[in-house]
Amino acid sequence: MGVRPLLMSDATVWAEVRRRNAAWLTPWEATLPPGDRSAPKTFRGLVRDLHRQARERRALPFAVTVDDEFAGQLTVTNITGGSARWAQVGYWIDKRFAGQDVMPTAVALVTDYCLFELDLHRVEVAIRPENTASLRVVEKLGFTEVGYAKGYLHIDGAWRDHRLFALTVEECEGGVLRRFRQGPRAENP
């Protein structure tokens, strides 16, 4: 399992995975509110826009892989410096790889990169309350629930509420991936 930059050459496999997983992904997919025409309409446009944001140090688009096979996407967005030093993480995965710790591992890797290489202070994840698979990812990684946002994102055709989770660098001594791989700590008697 790994992460690498999302590339223009991923277009065919990206489209195939999305087509095959349409029913699995649609309830959680960002959509544009009526009348908004700002988002890219093609994969090429999406990658071009994300790469522009990456050059501006505002986003990091990653392909998630399993044995070098494209398995999903993880994108760091809204990277903010200055006194905030935070970013948001969003992700999706091919249903074939769900429940195999692929996405928790990818999120842990990228969170560690954000906190320890980019020197961010906080990483956030927003998840629809009904999305039990994504909720399990942040649970496994020890993200703290920090709030509830009414009408937070336009998802699957409507404004949807989200639960908000975050990790700060102070909570991640030794790294999120290391902590995840060690598994839950036994409670002291």
Q: Which residues contact 112 (CB under 8 A, 6 or more apart)?
A: 172, 175, 176, 177
Global confidence as pTM: 0.93
Per-residue pLDDT of the chain (189 residues; tens, 9 = 90+): 899 999 999 999 999 999 999 999 999 988 888 888 777 778 898 899 999 999 999 999 999 999 999 999 999 999 999 999 999 999 999 999 999 999 999 999 999 999 999 999 999 999 999 999 999 999 999 999 999 999 999 999 999 999 999 999 999 999 999 999 998 654 444
Which tokens go with 93? 């995965």
Q: Produce one character per residue of 72-88: b if its CB has 16 or more CB atoms within 10 Å, e if not.
A: bbbbbeebeeeeebbbb
